[in-house]
Copies of this chain bind each other. A is one copy, B any other.
Amino acid sequence: MKDTVSHCPVENAMLVLAGRWRILLIYYLLEGTKRFSDLRRDMPKISQRMLTLDLRALEAAGYVRRTVYPEVPVRVEYSLTEEGQHLRSLVDVLGECGERLTRHRDAKA
């Protein structure tokens, strides 16, 4: 995704957070520190490659911290930075939107 910063804060946020999985990744990392395998279990529909790319993008944006423990085999953990923790309000609002959407759909069904 071309990273051209725009004058609009909403567009700037979407440059980083758009895509089907990134905000969902934040949602699961709000539960606490996770390994790659934990995140794949949380999100069975995401591919290994997509998870790798999304984690890297969220790390580059300053939302996710990747910690490597020099053990054998090496251990890698992902957690939210302080900036990442601030996305809780966004995840909460999106959760409300999702619930309204489901209620709206059920009412139409």
Q: Is A97 located at the chain interface by the 8 A CB criterion? A: yes
Given known pairs A89-B93, A98-B8, the reply for A108 and B62 (CB within 8 Å) is yes
Chain A 76-106 per-residue mask, 1 if CB under 8 angstroms from chain B, else 0: 0000000100110111011111111110110
Given known pairs A97-B90, A102-B5, the reply for A18 and B20 (CB within 8 Å) is yes
Q: Is A13 located at the chain interface by the 8 A CB criterion? A: yes
Of the residues B8, B23, B93, contact of A24 by C-beta under 8 Å:
B8
Asked if B91 and A10 make an inter-chain contact with CB atoms under 8 angstroms apart, the answer reads: yes
Once the chains are docked, how many angstroms separate the CA of A67 from the CA of B34?
A: 47
Asked if A83 and B104 make an inter-chain contact with CB atoms under 8 angstroms apart, the answer reads: yes
Kindly provide the distance from the CB of A59 to the nearest chain B CB, expressed in whole angstroms: 13
